[in-house]
Structure formats: structure tokens, C-alpha cells
């Protein structure tokens, strides 16, 4: 646990190398449980969500080993967990162990994931889809007790294109008998990365990146070496930091194709933005035009970038409107920004941001991962000193954020208050 001490008002200049994607790494790591062998995962970010997932893999009898950013997972001696002490429920993506555990051992006991700061986040579609694949699921207290008679492919139409549900089906159906078709599937790059991983393990998945994914079940997945894609949300976070503070940044990584929606909006804000195969350059004068944004599924503007761009828009030359359409309660950071001098009116899932000349430093609290990132950006933009609390959330998804920002010329220090983050 700790906080970020930031002295704002400096331009940011230079380049950063973006880390491996959190949301691509987590489902891949959960899937290594289904692989009976030694998986080598390269470009894996050392963030606390990944470290938690490693602990869960250890609890399943796997052995995990780091060498730099390469993570080796040996799952040859893995076993099914008889209780959910495996930590499922600690982080939300642990629900993906349900698919991997069922696929390998034909049984699983999983904690119900609780609600979180950004809304209820139910798992009803995961449960309904698994039932269609032949899983029997009973609910006992806070647990789902799951067992499998025959794992058989099925046609599954999703009510909404949920990322996690699509991934869970992909994991389990990859070893089902026969064909599974997911309609209204999620198209996010991280879903495609999971399909690439499963295919490199001998799976047969096609159509990913579109609304209809076809999974031809195979008997077994074999171990492989795989590289995690670069993190488009970390990329967007750094682009927003420079947009708001002014400066010139090159973000190195193969991320521009996946970041179009964010790049377009930052261009509309008045920044110069140019993408190529090896990264994205952004130049900002620190003067921001007002824009309107509605979050939506890929390839539209990602909900995971909403808090960061809200910080940028606090200093625009007019009125901006942000509508959050993915998660019901993802505007808590607006109230923290108000403590820094922002003028924001929140009604339901809509925030109206009246641009002010500048923000001033304050003590603020990020109640979730991306809110924390957004507040760090606001503190970098603000005049004077700020303290941003909630580092336990930020560290879930950003690798060395303070060092990377320091290298761009920011004044930011992480102050550890002694307790552990995880």
C-alpha cells in the first residue's frame, strides 16, 4: 500500500516502451492450467494481477518461474482444487480458471466474484454458456460447484459481447467434442490474442476478431512458447498524460492499429498523433479542445480509457460530455477531479465536463485501477503538489508507472506505507 507524490505542471517528453498487455496475459495464464506441459510466456507484465494469477496457478500445483519478463508455467503436476482457497474471487479474471479447470479435470469449485467499484459485474453469461456446453453447476453459499459429464460443443449467442464470457467459452470449448459457435462474440484484441495462444497450443479456432467465432474442439492442448501483445490501455494512458501536460512522446510497441479510437479522439482534442507499426507519436501544446465520448466495445472508445481522457478534458476550452455505456458505476474519479478544481456534473452514467484553466494539487483517491491512472494524469497536469492514493489498484495493471513517467520528466515518487499491495 502507498501513494504517489506528484508535483505537477511539467511538460513530458521522451519515449517509453509499452509493457505486455494485462488483459491479454491474464486469460493466457489461466489457460496454461489446461495445457499439460511447460508453457513459456514472453513479454508478460510483472503487475500484481499477474502475480496473483501466478499464486493461483501455484495453488493448482503448477510451478511458475520468472526470468525478466518471461514467465514459465509448468502445469504437468496440476490438480483440481477441492475448495476455492485457490484465490478465485481475489481478482475478477480468476473466473477464467473455471473454464481451464473444467477442461482439464472435468470439475471445478469457484468462488462467486463479488461486485467491485465499477459496478455489479455479474457472471450469469459465463454460467449459462457453460451449462450449454454440458457443465452442471450448483450454487452453494458463495461458491459455484461445477462438474462435467460430457463436454460437447454448442451454439451460444451472447446477450452482450462480453470479453470474459467469450474468453471462458473459448478456453473450455477448445477441448470439447465437436464444434462450438459463439455469436455476438467480443472482438477485442485481447480475445484475439487468446485465440492465437490456443491455436499455437494445437487448438482450432477461426473467425476471431469478428462477431462469430468457430471453435472446433481438439482432444488436448500442448505446451507452447507465446509472446503477449503490447498493452493498448497503458499506451493510451501515456498518450493522455502527454496530451494533458503538453509535450512530445513516442510510445514504442505494436499498438497503433488497436488504438485508433483513442488516437482519433486525442487528435480531435488538438494533439498531433501519428501511428506506425512500431509505435505512436503524440505532440501536444497542452491546449485541449472539448469533445464528446461514449464508451463502447472494440473498436470503439474503450471504457478502460475513460477516466484518463476525462482528466485531459478537465482543462479543455469548452464543454465535453462523456457517456459511460459499459460499466454502471465508472465515474467515481469525477468527484476526485472536482477536489482538484475540475468542474464536472455527473448524472447517472453521463459526465458533463466544463473546462477550467488549470487544476490544482490535492489529496485524491483512485477507487479502481483506471481511476487511479486518470488521477495520476490529473496530478501531473495540476499546479502544485498532489498525493494520489489507491496505488494498490494502479499496481494491478501498470508496470513501473512511476519510473516510466520520471523518464519523461515527471516529478512523481511512490511512497510505500509498509503494507503489502497484494
Give the binding site for ligand UD1 (CB under 6 A).
Answer: 23, 26, 92-93, 121-126, 160, 162-165, 190, 303-304, 326-327
Report the nearest approach of ligand UD1 to the CB of residue 160 (Å). 5
Q: Which is nearer to ligand UD1, 26 or 57 (CB)?
A: 26
- By Cβ distance, which residue is nearest to ligand UD1? 164
Q: Which is nearer to ligand UD1, 164 or 244 (CB)?
A: 164
- Which residue among the candidates 44, 116, 192, 195 is catalytic per the annotation? 116
Residue 143, Cβ neighbours under 10 Å: how many?
17
CA dist., res. 160 & res. 137, Å (int): 22
3-state secondary structure of 406: helix
Report the nearest approach of ligand UD1 to the CB of residue 212 (Å). 17
Report the nearest approach of ligand UD1 to the CB of residue 163 (Å). 4
Q: Which residues are 208's β-sheet partners?
A: 210
User: In a 10 Å sphere around its CB, with 0-12 CB exposed, 13-18 middle and 19+ buried, how is residue 140 labelled?
Assistant: exposed
Does 195 qualify as catalytic in the annotation? Answer: no
Q: Which is nearer to ligand UD1, 304 or 399 (CB)?
A: 304
User: In a 10 Å sphere around its CB, with 0-12 CB exposed, 13-18 middle and 19+ buried, how is residue 105 labelled?
Assistant: middle
Report the nearest approach of ligand UD1 to the CB of residue 296 (Å). 9
Q: Which is nearer to ligand UD1, 75 or 93 (CB)?
A: 93
CA dist., res. 67 & res. 59, Å (int): 21
Report the nearest approach of ligand UD1 to the CB of residue 190 (Å). 6
Laid out side by side, the sheet with 135-140 consists of: 107-111, 143-148, 135-140
Beta strand ranges found along 18-152 (DSSP E): 38-42, 63-67, 70-74, 107-111, 135-140, 143-148
Q: Which is nearer to ligand UD1, 108 or 326 (CB)?
A: 326
Which positions are catalytic? Answer: 116
Amino acid at each position: 500500500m502507498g501513494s504517489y507524490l506528484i508535483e505537477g505542471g511539467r511538460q513530458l517528453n521522451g519515449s517509453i516502451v509499452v509493457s505486455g498487455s494485462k488483459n491479454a496475459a491474464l486469460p493466457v495464464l489461466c489457460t496454461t492450467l489446461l495445457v499439460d506441459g511447460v508453457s513459456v510466456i514472453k513479454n508478460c507484465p510483472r503487475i500484481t494481477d499477474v502475480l496473483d494469477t501466478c499464486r493461483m496457478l501455484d495453488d493448482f500445483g503448477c510451478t511458475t518461474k520468472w526470468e525478466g519478463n518471461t514467465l514459465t508455467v509448468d502445469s504437468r503436476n496440476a490438480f483440481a482444487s477441492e475448495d476455492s482457497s485457490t484465490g478465485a474471487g481475489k481478482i475478477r479474471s480468476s473466473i477464467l480458471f473455471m473454464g481451464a479447470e473444467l477442461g482439464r479435470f472435468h470439475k471445478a469449485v469457484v468462488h462467486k466474484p463479488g461486485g467491485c467499484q465499477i459496478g455489479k459485474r455479474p457472471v450469469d453469461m459465463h454460467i449459462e454458456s457453460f451449462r450449454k456446453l454440458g457443465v452442471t453447476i450448483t450454487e452453494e453459499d458463495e461458491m459455484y460447484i461445477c462438474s462435467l459429464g460430457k463436454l460437447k460443443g454448442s451454439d451460444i449467442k451472447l446477450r452482450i459481447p462480453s470479453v470474459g464470457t467469450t474468453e471462458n467459452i473459448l478456453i473450455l470449448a477448445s477441448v470439447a467434442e465437436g464444434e462450438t459457435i459463439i455469436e455476438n462474440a467480443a472482438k477485442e484484441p485481447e480475445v484475439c490474442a487468446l485465440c492465437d495462444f490456443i491455436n499455437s497450443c494445437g487448438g482450432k479456432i477461426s473467425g476471431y476478431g469478428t462477431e462469430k467465432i468457430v471453435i472446433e474442439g481438439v482432444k488436448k492442448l500442448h505446451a507452447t512458447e507465446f509472446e503477449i501483445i503490447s498493452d493498448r490501455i497503458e499506451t493510451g494512458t501515456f498518450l493522455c498524460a502527454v496530451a494533458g501536460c503538453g509535450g512530445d512522446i513516442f510510445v514504442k510497441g505494436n499498438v497503433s492499429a488497436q488504438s485508433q479510437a483513442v488516437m482519433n479522439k486525442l487528435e480531435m482534442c488538438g494533439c498531433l498523433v501519428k501511428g506506425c507499426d512500431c509505435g505512436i507519436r503524440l505532440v501536444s501544446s497542452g491546449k485541449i479542445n472539448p469533445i464528446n465520448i461514449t464508451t463502447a466495445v472494440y473498436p470503439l472508445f474503450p471504457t478502460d480509457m475513460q477516466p484518463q481522457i476525462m482528466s485531459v478534458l478537465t482543462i479543455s476550452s469548452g464543454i465535453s460530455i462523456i457517456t459511460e455505456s459499459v460499466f454502471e458505476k465508472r465515474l467515481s474519479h469525477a468527484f476526485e477531479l472536482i477536489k482538484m478544481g475540475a468542474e464536472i456534473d455527473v448524472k447517472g452514467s453521463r459526465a458533463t465536463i466544463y473546462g477550467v484553466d488549470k487544476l490544482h494539487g490535492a489529496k485524491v483517491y483512485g477507487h479502481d485501477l483506471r481511476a487511479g491512472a486518470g488521477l495520476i494524469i490529473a496530478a501531473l497536469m495540476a499546479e502544485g503538489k498532489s498525493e494520489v492514493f489507491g496505488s494498490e489498484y494502479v499496481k494491478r495493471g501498470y508496470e513501473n508507472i512511476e519510473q516510466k513517467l520520471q523518464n519523461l520528466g515527471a516529478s512523481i515518487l511512490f511512497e510505500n506505507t509498509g503494507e503489502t499491495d497484494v
